[in-house]
Every structure is written in structure tokens, then in C-alpha cells.
């Protein structure tokens, strides 16, 4: 099994032209995926609907023609996410 893995590893060709790019929103209007999906909460004033915000971010990324080819896009925010009854800083919404 190990020799088979080593053989497969030796046959792979890796090509990485760029590891990451950043897009930093300079205003709230430049981040509609979070700002338009904020929830009204007195307990958590900075909380967004996770499913809607991540879907909206996904739509934004797919619509960008200037982005380099990529296999991941990551949304970092200071907001909490809420999905169903769970509140967290971390959620995933894989689109395969």
C-alpha cells in the first residue's frame, strides 16, 4: 500500500501560480452578503443568517470575472453566523 501511494505521489504534477488573493471591503455597502442578511437581535447585534450570507457570497464570487482560477473562496467577518439554532463564528457552505 505504501509503495502504491509513493508511486501515485511521484506521478502527480503540481502547479501553483498563486496561493491567495484578498478582497477587503472598505465599507458596509461593499459587503452586501453580510449587511443585507443581518438578523434583528438584541442579544447579538452583529449576527447574520449563515445560509443566506454564504449563498450570497458564493453568487458574488461566481460572478467575478477578474478573480484568478481557484478552488476555494473564504469569507472572513467579525459577525457571528446563525444557522438553524446554532450560533458560531464558523460555518461552511460547500458548492461542489
Within-domain flag for 52? yes
Q: What is the pLDDT along the chain (96 residues), one digit of tens a residue?
A: 333 334 445 555 555 555 666 778 888 899 999 999 999 988 888 999 999 999 999 999 899 888 777 778 888 888 999 988 888 887 777 665
Within-domain flag for 51? yes
pLDDT at 73: 85
Q: Give Cα 9 to chain centroid, integer Å.
A: 29
Within-domain flag for 60? yes
Within-domain flag for 96? no
80-83/47-49 β-pairing:
parallel
Tally of domains within the chain? 1
Domain that holds residue 71: 27-88
Within-domain flag for 46? yes
| Residue 24 vs residues 34, 40, 75, 87, 95: alpha-carbon distances, Å | 13, 25, 10, 24, 22
Within-domain flag for 20? no
pLDDT at 55: 92
47-49/86-88 β-pairing:
unpaired
Within-domain flag for 10? no
Within-domain flag for 16? no
Torsion sign (Cα): 52, 32, 70, 62: positive
Amino acid at each position: 500500500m505504501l509503495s502504491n501511494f509513493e508511486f501515485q505521489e511521484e506521478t502527480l504534477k503540481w502547479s501553483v501560480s498563486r496561493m491567495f488573493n484578498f478582497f477587503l471591503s472598505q465599507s458596509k455597502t461593499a459587503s452586501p452578503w453580510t449587511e443585507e442578511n443581518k438578523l434583528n437581535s438584541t442579544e447579538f447585534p452583529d449576527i447574520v443568517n449563515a445560509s443566506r450570507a454564504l449563498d450570497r457570497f458564493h453568487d458574488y464570487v461566481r460572478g467575478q470575472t477578474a478573480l484568478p482560477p481557484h478552488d476555494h473562496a473564504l469569507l472572513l467577518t467579525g459577525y457571528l453566523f446563525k444557522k438553524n439554532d446554532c450560533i458560531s463564528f464558523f460555518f461552511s457552505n460547500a458548492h461542489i
